[in-house]
Structure 1
Amino acid sequence: MKKTLVSVLFVMLFSVLGASAEAFAAGNGAEERVIRVATPGNYAPFTMYEELTQEWSGFEIELWRTIGEKTGYRIQFVHIDTPAAFAEVDLGRADTVAKQISITPARRQKYEFTQPFFFSPYCLTVREDNNEITSWKDMEGKTLALREGSAMKEFVAALDPDNKVKKAIYESGNSALHETAMGRVDAYPFAYLILPYRLKKNPELKLKSVDVDNPIYTEVNAYPFPRTERGQALLKLTDGVLTEMIADGSYSELCKKWFGLDVMETKPAKEYRQKRAQ
């Protein structure tokens, strides 16, 4: 009887340990088998939220849903502006941030990043009838729109160390684009791969990209995770799915659906991979 009781206890103990291991991989228990993705939902076509229907759509939304399907995790989108989204990650109330998030030196100091999932060259976007600005060298004394909480502020600071370009800060990229189209600012750094999509959806915006062969900077986009046990476990899971999707062609299909091309086959992506391989 004692031997039977001891055996039962051992079985129970190992069952608990096994469950604990599973829980650790998922977070802290079955209720934590969720990845909380903070995103504003106002950056087409990457992450979009419809207030009336409370529905999410976009390239990154579909990407995260695929990550959820392949890992068995529920993806919970946390509707919040970008600066506050990073604060939610810091407080442990969100796991990562989605909005074409760039790897920057400042962010690397706080977060670990997945492998890049997008490479986005940024060019100056100006009014369609603006022929004065043809490249960055024409920006001295002009006014450049910047988006609050965006990595573009870091990139532009490096381009303009002597502060010869005036800056106007806007809460959203939509506002910056409209102000540029209205002529209230001279230019706005914008992803030229995305501009055709934006102009198709908003034909009233008479804008163009300039000097597209020489982007003022190229964003390398990846997902940031905190340096916690949970954060590193979720990063590993996410990275594994990204590797699988790139290898099996499903990532290419998703890219072509939203952008008409496979971003991993673009010049910036190839140059990045080549540099990393050296």
Structure 2
Amino acid sequence: MMTQPLLTRRAAGLAAAAVLAPLAGARANNLDKARRAGELLIATELHFAPFDFTEGGRQVGMNSELFAVVGQVLGFRIRFQDLPWPGVLPGLEAGRFDLVAGPATITRARMERYRFTAPIANATVALLKRSNDSTISKPEDINGKTVASAQATAQLAQLQAYIARMNFNTQVREYQSFSEAYADLAAGRVVAVANSLPNLAYVAQQRRGAFSVVSPPFGASLYFGYLGRKDAETAPLIDAIDGVIDTMRSDGRLAALQTKWFGQSFEVPARVVEANA
């Protein structure tokens, strides 16, 4: 027979376990974790204008402005970690941060592996050329020439798929960042750079007279979104971010950010259920 003190200690232990069990579950919830810590760590690449880049030594772009709203609504600071893009997704899978704000093109392969937020911009792939290059007037003109894109990107994959589909004799150079690809385009080492239309429109606008977008885009109709791990711990965080993006889309703030950073706004669906590539 157990004595009264032993019964009391056992009851206290069971009560403590009952209290700690929900807390343990909360620790695994990345939304609650960010609120308790007061900040959310997000990986990005500060060479992907106009989404994320530096100007005057500080981070600027659509990402920082959109996530400022997210942090204000959800109750935590946003801390960005700048990484080369090839290391961003492996870092997410290793748990070094909870979200990627590249943003990333929403593709079928990535949707199988990651959880995306609501889309925030068009991501259809096009080409950027030197304005004075009369040999490039349409995407097909890259046949027999050397073009560029960035390593480990959906834009590179779209470019390679287009070249294979058209059976072109085109050499593709891969760069660690799009900034390096644009530098080689300006120097004449490549004739075009493949990137998503909003990015190229921004670069052409910033370097008016030097660069031009080649029309029409050659890639499938795709969209940009932010992404996290595809697990129960991350789901509440992305659900909450989706709620903020939904509000910004419905009240016009998302379109206003697009116009500010791309020079135009894009119709984007509330969710991407099935990607086009």
Compute the TM-score of the two structures, normalised by the length of structure 2: 0.80
Structure 2 gaps of 5+ residues are 1-11
Partner of 1:226: 229
Query: 1:228-243, aligned counterparts within 5 Å?
Result: 228-243=231-246
DSSP-derived class of the 2:115 partner: strand
Deviation by residue 1:222-249 (Cα, 9 ceiling, x = unmatched): 1111122222221111111111211222
Aligned equivalents of 1:223, 1:94: Cα separation in 2: 13
Structure 1 residues 244, 19: closer, same or farther in 2, change over 3 A? Answer: farther
Q: Is contact 1:41-1:49 (8 Å) kept?
A: yes
Pair 1:63 & 2:89 matched: no
Aligned equivalents of 2:40, 2:240: Cα separation in 1: 10
Q: Give the number of aligned pairs.
A: 265
Q: Is contact 1:124-1:216 (8 Å) kept?
A: no
Pair 1:185 & 2:190 matched: yes
Q: Is contact 1:27-1:230 (8 Å) kept?
A: no
Structure 1 gaps of 5+ residues are 1-7
Deviation by residue 1:149-200 (Cα, 9 ceiling, x = unmatched): 2211221232122563211111221221221222211211134444453245
Partner of 1:208: 212
Counterpart of 2:52, as a letter, is T
1:130 to 128, 133, 148: 133
Partner of 2:84: 81
Compute the TM-score of the two structures, normalised by the length of structure 1: 0.80
Partner of 1:5: none
Deviation by residue 1:97-124 (Cα, 9 ceiling, x = unmatched): 1223101233223212122111133322
DSSP-derived class of the 2:104 partner: coil
The higher relative CO (CA closer than 8 Å, separation ≥ 6) is in 2
Aligned equivalents of 2:178, 2:79: Cα separation in 1: 24
Counterpart of 2:40, as a letter, is I
Pair 1:246 & 2:246 matched: no
Aligned equivalents of 1:211, 1:260: Cα separation in 2: 17
Aligned equivalents of 1:263, 1:127: Cα separation in 2: 25
Aligned equivalents of 1:202, 1:262: Cα separation in 2: 20
1:118 to 121, 132, 143: 121
- Give runs of ≥4 in structure 1 deviating > 4 Å: 8-25, 27-33
Structure 1 residues 196, 153: closer, same or farther in 2, change over 3 A? Answer: closer
- Identity, in percent, stands at 24
1:171 to 153, 158, 176: 176
DSSP-derived class of the 2:102 partner: coil
Once the two structures are TM-superposed, the CA of residue 59 in structure 1 deviates from its matched residue by: 0.5
Counterpart of 1:189, as a letter, is A
Once the two structures are TM-superposed, the CA of residue 27 in structure 1 deviates from its matched residue by: 4.5
RMSD: 3.3
Structure 1 residues 257, 150: closer, same or farther in 2, change over 3 A? Answer: same
Structure 1 residues 156, 72: closer, same or farther in 2, change over 3 A? Answer: same
DSSP-derived class of the 2:195 partner: strand
Query: 1:132-171, aligned counterparts within 5 Å?
Result: 132-161=135-164, 162=167, 164-171=169-176
